[in-house]
Amino acid sequence: MTAVVSRPLVVANARILDPSRRLDEVGTLIAEDGIILAAGGNAQNQGFPEGAEVIDARGMLLIPGLVDARVFMGEPGGEHRETIRSVSRAAAAGGVTSILTMPDTDPVIDDLALAQFVSRTARETAIINVFPSAALTKGLKGKEMTEIGLLAQAGVLAFTEGRHTLRDPALIRRIMTYIRDFDALFLHETQDADLTGSGVMNEGLLASWLGLPGIPREAEIIPLERDLRLAALTGCRYHAAKLSTAASLDVLRRAKRENPKVSAGVSINHLSLNENDIGEYRTFFRLSPPLRSEDDRQAMIEGIADGTLDVIVSSHDPQDADGKRRPFSDAEAGSIGLETLLPAALRLHHSGQVPLARIVECLTVAPAKLLKLDRGTLEPSRPADFALVDLDAPYVYDKTRIRSRSKNSAFENARFQGEVMRTVVAGRTVFDTANGPL
């Protein structure tokens, strides 16, 4: 990431919402040398640093920079889909200041040199904080465990198979036991490949009408139940990457009552969309896990509201035109989402379904704590990563707004209310609506 500009920064008259401190009040944020000095209603009483840039944010919402714990990219090997630089610019436009990248690249991020490559390239080209995860197994082949100890000691925060799901419970147990000893995070997508088979959408009446092979909910539930039992057996920190069914939440609730080390996330797609959005075989809605029923979507929203689900992720997954302009069954799964993560989540606030503070918590301090990052908060002495948001600004997310190299957005031409006006990383503005990513 680009070096921090030394000029102090003051943001005055903003509504400051910081779930990490249960703070929601009009006040001022003061930052110097990339660090927050004060943030709150009484911050201005200590005076402004000499030579500070002062921003009048009257009517704006000031929140911690978003932390997205599930971001796919192309680099290395698929730079035509997304580079580290381009993914950082898309993130900045969405108020996202820190991302955890997935290891599904070519080559796979499965050793120390490749993890260091991502970190080094991010320092040189990215305008936000980029933290690489590493694969659980070499080549994502589900056979041989990676050098987890070496990677964890080098600062890798989480280990995952990315889009893939491990099949061998004995191997999962061994890896969990090893990860536990380094207090790292086992992050897993729970999609049984045998049950998924050739399925491309939610199994049910709509799939039958469309003539498309379906994916049963059990493809998610069965590996989730297995993982949660193995996590309890080994004592490792376990996170289910993306849940999509009401029954999965029932399983998770039971596990959480007995094991505080387990958690789960949900993608913004499964909070905002359902299987009916597929319409006339619209491949931008070909996702994994598939979009489920409206009842499942409502259950996901309830899971966020009641704390069963811990974090909301974009599951940003860039695919090029060749991968999407195919028959639905042949199209690649995935949607970009960094730029639409916050505005789509704000729909739940505007509809009254989830309190604003809870939404911001799931996008900031909760994923930061999960990954053990000193981010997602406006607490003094922490990095000055934050976003200014106009909660009421209406706009249409059309192609002209997309900063990602790939354009496969499930929210193309969606109408939103709530726009990121400025994004700041380490006290430096990296995006504003007038100039775009800087």
Residue range 69-107, pLDDT digits in tens = 999 999 999 999 999 999 999 999 999 999 999 999 999
Token couple for 389: 């948001």
Percent of the chain with pLDDT over 90: 95
Q: pLDDT band at residue 378, thresholds of 50, 70 and 90?
A: very high
Residues 31 and 139 in one domain: no
Report the CATH number at residue 187. 3.20.20.140
Q: What is the pLDDT of residues 37-71, one digit of tens each?
A: 999 998 877 778 888 999 999 999 999 999 999 99
Report DSSP letters for 359-418, one per residue: HHHHHTHHHHHHHT-S-S---TTSB--EEEEEEEEEEEE-GGG--SSS--BTTTTEEEEE
How far apart (Å, rounded) are the C-alpha atoms in residues 357 and 24?
8
Considering its fold, how many domains does the chain have in total? 2
Three-state SS across 20-40?
HHCEEEEEEEEEECCEEEEEE
Residues 222 and 255 in one domain: yes
Q: pLDDT band at residue 276, thresholds of 50, 70 and 90?
A: very high
Residue 190 has pLDDT above 70, yes or no: yes
Report DSSP letters for 208-248, one per residue: HHHT--EE-THHHHHHHHHHHHHHHHHT-EEEE-----HHH
Residue 261 has pLDDT above 60, yes or no: yes
Residues 196 and 330 in one domain: yes
Three-state SS across 134-158?
EECEHHHCCCCECCHHHHHHCCCCE
Q: To 10 degrees, what angle do helices 246-258 and 294-305 make?
A: 30
Residue 49 has a pLDDT of 87
Task: Report in angstroms the alpha-carbon separations of 128 from 4, 99, 247, 424.
Answer: 11, 8, 36, 9
Residue 6 has a pLDDT of 63
Is residue 377 included in any domain, yes or no?
no
Q: What is the pLDDT of residues 167-180, one digit of tens each?
A: 999 999 999 999 99
Which helix (H) or strand (E) is 421 found in, with range? Answer: strand 414-425
Residue 335 has a pLDDT of 98
Residues 99 and 214 in one domain: yes
Q: pLDDT band at residue 436, thresholds of 50, 70 and 90?
A: confident
Place of tokens 């991502």: 118
How far apart (Å, rounded) are the C-alpha atoms in residues 68 and 367?
7
Residue 2 has a pLDDT of 44
Residues 174 and 49 in one domain: no
Residues 155 and 246 in one domain: yes
Q: pLDDT band at residue 300, thresholds of 50, 70 and 90?
A: very high
The values of phi and psi at residue 152, to 5°, are -65, -40
How far apart (Å, rounded) are the C-alpha atoms in residues 35 and 362?
23
Range of the domain at 15: 9-62+382-404+415-437
pLDDT mean across residues, the chain: 96
Residues 294 and 325 in one domain: yes
Q: Is the dihedral of CA 95, 98, 104, 107 positive or negative?
A: positive
Is residue 376 included in any domain, yes or no?
no
Residues 342 and 387 in one domain: no
Q: pLDDT band at residue 4, thresholds of 50, 70 and 90?
A: very low
Average pLDDT score over residue span 214-238:
98
Residue 434 has a pLDDT of 82
Residue 3 has pLDDT above 70, yes or no: no
How far apart (Å, rounded) are the C-alpha atoms in residues 50 and 25?
25
